[in-house]
Amino acid sequence: MEQDTHIVKSYDEEMKEINNSILDIGSLVENQLKEALGALKNQDTELADKVIQADNLIDEKFRQLDQKLVLILGKRQPMATDLRTIFSAIKMNKDLERLGDHSTNIAKRTAMIELVLPEKPVRDILRMGEHVRVMIAKVIQSFVNFSAEEAKIVWEMDEEIDDEYLGILRQLLTYMMEDPKRISACTNLLYMVKDLERAGDYVQNIAEDIYYAVSGEPLYNDGPDREWEAIKPLKKKK
């Protein structure tokens, strides 16, 4: 029994177009982060400006895919695996667009900063950023392979990103407490590290969407809020 293709050929073509659009946006988003990190590494404001401009293209592709998804829902009234794939694609599209925004935010801060940045936290942020970039590449690959197992591996990787985030957060607080003159530079870095932490969360969301599209089962993160656990001791006692 032929199960791979629809009886209506144009439905297959539309589904293929949606897959290709996700891959296209995914690769743009991965590149956006790569270049934002490059700009930070070399404090290259020209490259940072290029990244900021490139966000427009991601936004444009997001809007185009959004339209395609609405159209296919109305036209095909998808069921089962098609329904799950389209439902997940709607969410993935939005999350990829937000991922692009976070890379753009890093580039904006890089373009703004005219300060000497402390070396160690920058190095750590670049390493964390590279981990997020790898997560984006892997999550897109899991979509290409339509693999729930691969998506779950990426989903679990976010835990390391959260650990790195909390480590850098503590490091930056220490830097600021030791030398208030560093507050301005470190605040910018704080925003960047937060952008990367959020980017990791979006990749995790995308992994959940792919897992659901493939398996039909939800993948929920019902663990403790680790950031809250880490900063809770700092809360003032009444």
Partner 1 sequence: MKNIKISSKNVNVHYGAKQALHSVSLNINENEVTSLIGPSGCGKSTFLRCINRMNDLIDICKVDGSITVDNEEIISDEVDVVSLRSKIGMVFQKPNPFPKSIFDNVAYGPTIHGIAESKTDLEEIVHSSLKRAGLLKEVKDRLHEPGTSLSGGQQQRLCIARAIAVNPDIILMDEPCSALDPIATAIIEELIDELKANYTIVIVTHSMQQAARVSQRTGFFHLGELIETGDTQKIFTNPDNEKTQGYITGRFG
Select the residue interacting with partner 1 from 34, 68, 84, 194 (CB under 8 A): 84
| Nearest CB to partner 1, comparing residues 2 and 119 | 2
Select the residue interacting with partner 1 from 9, 46, 74, 77 (CB under 8 A): 77
70 lies in the binding site for partner 1 (CB under 8 A): no
Q: How far apart are CB 7 and partner 1 at their closest, in Å?
A: 5
71 lies in the binding site for partner 1 (CB under 8 A): no
Indicate if the alpha-carbon torsion angle 37, 43, 46, 49 is positive or negative.
Answer: positive
| Nearest CB to partner 1, comparing residues 114 and 217 | 217
* Residue 19: other Cβ atoms inside 10 A: 15
Task: Give the C-alpha separation, 1 to 20, whole Å.
Answer: 26
x-marked contacts with partner 1 along 160-189 as a string, rule CB under 8 A: ------------------------------
Q: How far apart are CB 215 and partner 1 at their closest, in Å?
A: 8
8 Å CB contact between 193 and 182: no
91 lies in the binding site for partner 1 (CB under 8 A): no
* Binding window for partner 1 (CB under 8 A); candidates: 1-9, 39-47, 170-178, 196-204: 1-9
8 Å CB contact between 52 and 104: yes
CA-to-CA dists, residue 120 to 54, 123, 175, 227, angstroms: 29, 5, 10, 22
DSSP letter string over 71-112? HHHHHH---HHHHHHHHHHHHHHHHHHHHHHHHHHHHHHHHH
What's the length of the chain? 238
Q: How far apart are CB 145 and partner 1 at their closest, in Å?
A: 19
* Binding window for partner 1 (CB under 8 A); candidates: 5-13, 39-47, 94-102, 172-180: 5-13
Q: Which residues are at the interface with partner 1 (CB under 8 A)? A: 1-8, 11, 76-84, 216-217
